Structure 1
Amino acid sequence: MRRASSRSRSTRGPAAEASTRRPPAALWRTLQRIFTLSRPYRLRLYTAMALTLAASAIWLVVPLGLRSLLDAVFVEANGRLLDRMALGLVVLFLVQALVGFGGRYLLEWTGERIVADLRQRLYAHLNRLDFRFFANQRTGDLTSRLTNDVSSVRNAVTNALVNLLTQALTLAGSVVLMVTLNWRLSLIIFAVVPPTTLAARYFGRKIRVLARAIQDRLADTTAVAEEALMAVRLVKAFAREPYEVQRYNAAVENLFGEARRRVVISQIFWSVVGTTFMMALVAIFWFGGTEVLAGRLTAGDLVAFIFYAFNIARSVGGLSQLYTVFNSAAGASERIFELLDTTPEVRDAPGAATLPPVRGAVRFEDVSFQYEPGRPVLRGITLSVEPGETVALVGPSGAGKTTLLNLIPRFYDPTAGRLLVDGHDLRGVTLRSLRTQIAVVPQEVHLFGTSIRENIRYGRLDATDAEIEAAARAANAHAFIEALPNGYDTTVGERGLKLSGGQRQRIAIARALLRDARILLLDEATSSLDSASEALVQEALERLMTDRTTFIIAHRLSTVLHADRIVVLDRGRIVQQGTHAALVAEDGLYRDLAALQFQDTTVSG
C-alpha cells in the first residue's frame, strides 16, 4: 500500500501544522542547549572570552584618558602632559585592537565550529529517522531546518555572542565609573534603564513568536519551490507554470506578512528605546553643564561622563538588539531541537546483535501491520520462504504487497507478530547488519546527480572499477554506458533524468549485483518499460536472482510466470499460494487476474 505523496502533505495549512507544535520553551533553556554545543571547544571559548573582556576593559579606560588630556589643556595648561597623554591613548588603542582581534577571531571560530557541528549532527540524525517520520514530513521543510534555521542559530553563536560579552562588560564598567565620577548624574541613567528592560522583555517575547512563524513560512516557501522544481516535467506537461508561480507567490506573501509584523514591532521598540536615551542624554548635558558652572565638575569629567553615558546608551541598545537576535535564534533552534528530540520508532534494540552472514531463509509469523490505528494493511500473514526461492507477490492495488516487502529490511516494524531471517528475530539484530545483506531494485529508480560509475558503486563503496564494469555487463548496461560521451564518467543529471527508464533500471540492477546480497527485493522493476527495454532488464534480473532469495512485486503476471511460488494478497491477507500452473487451475483471485491480463492468449501452465 502506497503512502500519501509529499505533494498532498504540502497542502496542510498553518493551523494544522500549529496543532502539532510544542509551545516555545523558556528562552534561557533554549539558549543553554545551543551553547552546550561549545563544550568540546571550552579552552578556545574561555580564552576568547578573556581576550574580549580585556579589550572591553581597555576601552573603558579611554574616557579617563580623554579626561586627563582635556584637564591637562584647560585646567593645568601642561603641554608635556598633553603629549604623554596623547601618546598613551595611541598605545592604548593599538593594544585594544590587537586584543580585540584575538578575542573576536576565537569567538567567531568557536561559533562557526558549533554551527558546523550542529549541521552535521542534525543531518546524521535525519538519516537515522525512519520511514514513518518522512512519510509525515515535507522535504522542503526539512531542508529549511537544515539550512535556514541553522543559519539563524549561527547569528546567535558568532557575532551576537561577541557583542553580548562586549556590551555587558561595557555597560557594567561604564556604570561603575560613571557613579565614581558623579553619582548625581548617574541617577538620570538609572531612571531610564528599568523601563527599557521591561520594554525589551515585552517586545522580545513577541519577536520570538514571530521569528518562529517566519521560519515556518520560510520552510513553506522552500517546500513549495522544491516540490514544483522536482516535478518540473509534470508541471510543464499540464501547463501549470502560472499555477505553481501563484502558489509560490502566495507562500512568499505569507512570509512577507510575518516579516513585516516583526519589522513593525522591532522598530517600535527601537524608537522607544532611542527616544528615551536621547532625552536622558539631553538631561545629562543640561545637568552636567550646571555642575561645571558650579565648580563641582571639571570639563574633562563632563566629557568622560558623556562618553560613559553614550557607552551605556549604546550597550543597553545593543543588548536590547541582542535580545531580539537571541529570541529569533531561539525560535529557529526550537525547530531544530524538535528534530533532534524525535526518536525513530524503528531503531536498534538495546544489546541488539549483529546479524551473521545469512543464507536467506525468511519467515513471517502471524504478522499484522497498520500505518494508522484502526486501519490494518496486513492481517495475520504467515509465510515461510526458503533460501534461494523466488516468491512473487501479486494482487490488486492496495492489497499490501509493498508494505509486506518494506517489513523485510525493517523500514517499518510489524504491529503484531514477528519476522525472522535465518531464525533471527529482526527486532533483535542491528539495522545495519540486516540491511547490508539486502539489495533493493525499486520501481522508481533514484540516481544521484553524479557519474554512472559512482551510482553503481553506491551498492558497495569499496568496489573497484573492474568490479563495477563486471556488474554493468551482467546488468546489460555496459554497451549503452560505453556509447555515452564520457562512458562510466558520464553525469546522469539530477535523479538520472538524462537516461531512459530502461537505462536507469539497468544501472539499479548493476548496483544490486555489486552489493551481492543474499536477499533481493524487486518492486515492479519492469512495469513502466517498453518491450525492448523490458527484455534486457528481465534478462539482467534473471542473472541477479540466481541463488538469491527473491521477492518480486509485479502487476504484469507475465514477468512472474516462472517464480517458484506466487503469493496472492487481497485486503492484507494471503488468499492463495502456489505456482502459476496450479493457481490458474483453481477457482480464485489469481485466475481472475490472469484472465484479465491474458484474455487475448491461451492461459496455460
Structure 2
Amino acid sequence: MPHPHAADAPPEPPRPPRSLIATLRRILAFARPYRTRLVLAIALTLVATAVGLVVPLGLQRLLDSVFQATDGTLLNQLALALLGLFALQAVLGFGGSYLMEWTGERVVTDLRTTLYTHLHRLGLRFFSDQRTGEITSRLTNDVSKVQSAATSDLGDALRLALTLVGSVALMLALNWRLSLVIFAVVPPIAWAMRSFGQIVRTLSRTIQDRLADTTAIAEEAIAGVRVVKAFAREGYEVGRYGEAVEGLFETSRRRAWIVAAFWSSVGFGFSTALVVIFWFGGREVLADRLTAGALVAFIVYALNIARSVAGAGRLYTSFQSAAGASDRLFELLDSEPEIVDAPGARPLPSVRGALDLEAVTFGYVDGQPILRDVSISAAPGETVALVGPSGAGKTTLLHLIPRFYDPDTGTLRIDGVDVRDATVDSVRDAVALVAQDVQLFGVSLRDNIRYGRLDASDAEVEAAARAAHADAFIEALPDGYDTPVGERGVKLSGGQRQRIAIARALLKDPPILLLDEATSALDAASEAAVQEALSELMQGRTSVVIAHRLATVRDADRIVVLDGGRVVEEGTHTELVARGGLYAGLAARQFTAGGDGVGVLE
C-alpha cells in the first residue's frame, strides 16, 4: 500500500485572476500587525485632506466680503487663517504620508520574506519545472509593482477619495444646478474606467510574464557564459534576448497607446465640462443668482473633482498593474510544498545509519516510473556502490534518501523509521550529499565550508579543510580562508571545488553519506587528491556511492547494479565478476579499454 503522504497532489490549473478588491484585500492582510500605524496614517491623511477642502470657502469669503467691503483688517485675519490652515495641512500630511509609507514598506518587506521563505519550503519538483529567471523576476519585478501600490498609491487613493466626495458635497451646497454638469460627465467616465482597467490588468500581466522571460534568458546566458563563448554563440544569445525585449516593448507600447488615448479623452471631457460650468456660472453671476466668490469656489471644487478622477484613473491603472503582478506572486505563494512533515512527525533519534528501501517505485511523471520495485539495504557504516548504464535510476534513487522526493509506492527507512514519519529536517540533518556538480556560494572559502554547520568555529572549519586535503591550496591563496570563490565557485578548479564540498560534509559530520559521481569529471591528479579526501570522509559512515569508475566501486562492501530502474544484480566485486552478468560485462569493457581498472563503468 502506498504511504498516505507518498503521492503528490496533481498540479492545479492556473487560477483565474482575482477581482481587484480581493487582491488588494489579500495584500493588506500583511498589514494586520501594523494596523495601529495604518489607522493613524489614514486618520491623519483624511484630516489633512478635509482641511484642504476648506480653502476654496476661504477664497469665496475673500472675494465676496473682503474685496467688496475693502476691509483690510478682515483681509489680514483671513490671510492668517489660510496660512494656519496650510501649516496644519502640511503637518498632518507629513505624519500621514510617513506612516503610510512606513506601513507600505513594512508590508512589502514581509511579503518578500514570506515569498522567499515559501520558496525554500517547495520541493525540487517545483524548481525542476520553473526557470530560475522566472522565479527571480517574481521576487524582484513583481514585488516592485506591488510596492508602489502598497506605499504612496494607497495614501493617494485615500486623499483623492475624500477630495472627490467632499468636493461633490460642497458643490451641491453652493449650486446644485451647476453640479449637474459635472454629474453628467463622471458616471460614463467611471464606467469606461472599469473596462479600461481590465484591459490594463491583462496587458500588465503579459508584460510581467515577458519581463520574466527576458530575465530568465539573460540569467541562463550569463550563468553559462563559458559554454556561450566556447561555441561562439554570443550573437545567437544577443538575438534571443533582443527578440524577447522586442516582444516586451511591443506589449508595453500597446498598453501605453491605450492609456494615452483613454486619458486624453477623459481630459477633453472634463475640460469641456469646465467650459460649460464657466459659461453657465458666469450667466448665474450676471443674473445675481450666484456670487463671484461662489463661482470661483465652485470652479476650484470642479477642478478638484477633475484632478481626483484623473488621479483615480492613474491609481486604478497602477492598482491593476499591481494586481497582475500580485496574481503571479500569490500563484507562487499558493503552490503547495510536496515534502512536508506528516501530522505527528517526530525527529529521528540518534541516527546509526541503517538504510532500507523496500519495494520502492518512483517516477517524475505519473505512469512513467524511473525506479521499479527497488529493494536495497545498507548496514550502519557499510559502503554500497550503485552502478549501471546512464538512465538506470541511480541519481533518482540517491535523491529519495534525503527526501528530495517521496516514493510513489514502497518504503524508505532510516534506522527502521519510515522517513515520512520523521521530520524532514531531521532526515536531512542525518545525510550529506557530495555531487559531481558542486554548488558553492559567492562568499569566502571559510563561509562555504561553514555552510555544513553554521555554528562551527574557525578552528573546526580549518580542521575540516585539513581532513579534506584542501588546506594546502587554501593557505596558498593571498587571503587564505577569507578568499571569495566567485559565483558558484568559478575561481576554483574542479578538484578544489570538490574538496571544499567534502570539507563541508566533514564539518556536518552526518551518519549517512551520499556520493554522486564525485570524481567522474576530474583529471587523474585531481581525482587522486579528491579520492583520498573521500576515503577520510567515508570512514565510519553509511555511504551510498554512484560511480562510473571501476577503481572507485570495487572496494565497496556491496555493489548494486541497476538497469531500467530495477535491481538486476547485487554482491561484491569478486562475486559479480564471477557471475558473468551485466556488471562483469561493464568491468570487462573497462579493462579492455583502459587496462588499468580506472575506466568508465558504463
Coarse TM-score class (shorter-chain normalised): over 0.9
1:112 matched to 2:111 = no
Of 343-352 and 248-257, the range deviating more from structure 2 = 343-352
2:529 maps to amino acid: L
Correspondence for 1:143? 136
The unaligned stretches of length 5 or more in structure 2 are 1-11
The equivalent position to 1:465 in structure 2, one of 454, 458, 464, is: 458
Distance in 1 separating the partners of 2:513 and 2:293 = 86
Report 1:200-599 matches (<5 A).
200-599=193-592
Q: 1:562 to 1:300 in 2, by over 3 A?
A: same
Contact in 1 for aligned 2:551/2:597 (Cα 8 Å): no
Task: Report if the CA contact (8 A) 1:204-1:323 is conserved.
Answer: yes
Distance (Å, rounded) in 1 between the aligned partners of 2:415 and 2:548: 29
Please, which of 125, 130, 133 is the counterpart of residue 126 of structure 2?
A: 133
Distance 1:145 1:209 in 2: 17
Does the residue aligned with 1:459 lie in a helix, a strand or coil? Answer: coil
Q: What SS is found at the alignment partner of 1:366?
A: strand
Secondary structure in 1 aligned to 2:345?
coil
Q: Distance in 2 between matches of 1:513 and 1:548?
A: 11
Amino acid paired to 1:109: W
**Aligned mates of 1:280, 1:602 — CA distance in 2:** 94
Amino acid at match of 1:274: G
Give the AA of the match of 2:588. A
TM-score by length of 1: 0.96
Check whether the contact 2:590–2:597 (CA below 8 A) recurs between aligned residues. no
Deviation of the 1:302 alpha carbon:
0.8
The answer to whether the 8 A contact 1:368-1:416 is kept is yes
Aligned to 1:102, which of 95, 98, 104? 95
TM-score (norm 2): 0.96
Q: Distance in 1 between matches of 2:581 and 2:353?
A: 30
Q: Aligned with 1:387: secondary structure?
A: coil
Aligned residues: 586
Aligned residue type for 1:444: D
For the residue of structure 2 that corresponds to 1:75, the secondary structure is helix
**CA distances 1:57-82 after superposition (whole Å, capped 9, x unpaired):** 00000000111112233332212111
Could you tell me how far apart the structure 1 residues matched to 2:444 and 2:589 are? 42
Provide the residue aligned with 2:595 in structure 1. Answer: 601
Deviation at 1:586, TM superposition (A): 1.1
Aligned Cα root-mean-square deviation (Å):
1.1
The superposition leaves residues 194-215 of structure 1 with CA deviations (integer Å, 9 ceiling, x where unpaired) of: 0010110010000000010000
* 1:13-28 equivalent positions in 2, closer than 5 A: 21-28=14-21
CA contact (8 A) 2:132 2:216 kept: yes
Identity fraction in percent? 66
Which secondary structure state, in structure 1, belongs to the residue aligned with residue 370 of structure 2? strand
Q: Which residue, 47, 53, 64 being the options, matches 2:57?
A: 64
Give, in whole Å, the separation in 2 of the partners of 1:255 and 1:57: 42
Instruction: Report what 2:3 is aligned to.
Output: none
Match for 2:511: what amino acid? R
CA distance in 2, matches of 1:126, 1:456: 24
The structure 2 residue matched to 1:157, chosen from 150, 166, 175, is 150
Query: For residue 145 of structure 1, what is the amino acid of its counterpart?
Result: R
Cα deviation code 1:72-102 (max 9, x no counterpart): 3333221211111111111110110010000
> Partner of 1:16 in structure 2?
none
Residue pair 1:523, 1:554 contacting (<8 A) in 2 also: yes
Report the Cα distance in structure 1 between the residues aligned to 2:305 and 2:268, rounded to whole angstroms. 14
1:509-534 deviation line (CA, Å, top 9, x unaligned): 00000000000000000001111111
How far apart, CA to CA, are the structure 2 residues paired with 1:352 and 1:320?
52
In the aligned structure 1, how far is the partner of 2:267 from the partner of 2:484? 57
The alpha-carbon deviation at position 23 of structure 1 amounts to 2.1
Deviation at 1:575, TM superposition (A): 0.4
Match of 1:31 in 2: 24
Give the aligned residue type for 2:295.
L
Would the aligned equivalents of 1:72 and 1:79 in 2 still touch at CA under 8 Å?
no
3-state SS of 1:371 partner = coil
Letter in 1 for 2:182: I
1:14 aligns to what? none
- Answer yes or no: is the 8 Å Cα contact 1:357–1:437 preserved in 2: no
Q: Distance in 1 between matches of 2:365 and 2:326?
A: 30
- Name the SS for the 2:69 alignment partner: coil
Kept after mapping to 1: 8 A contact 2:200/2:320 = yes
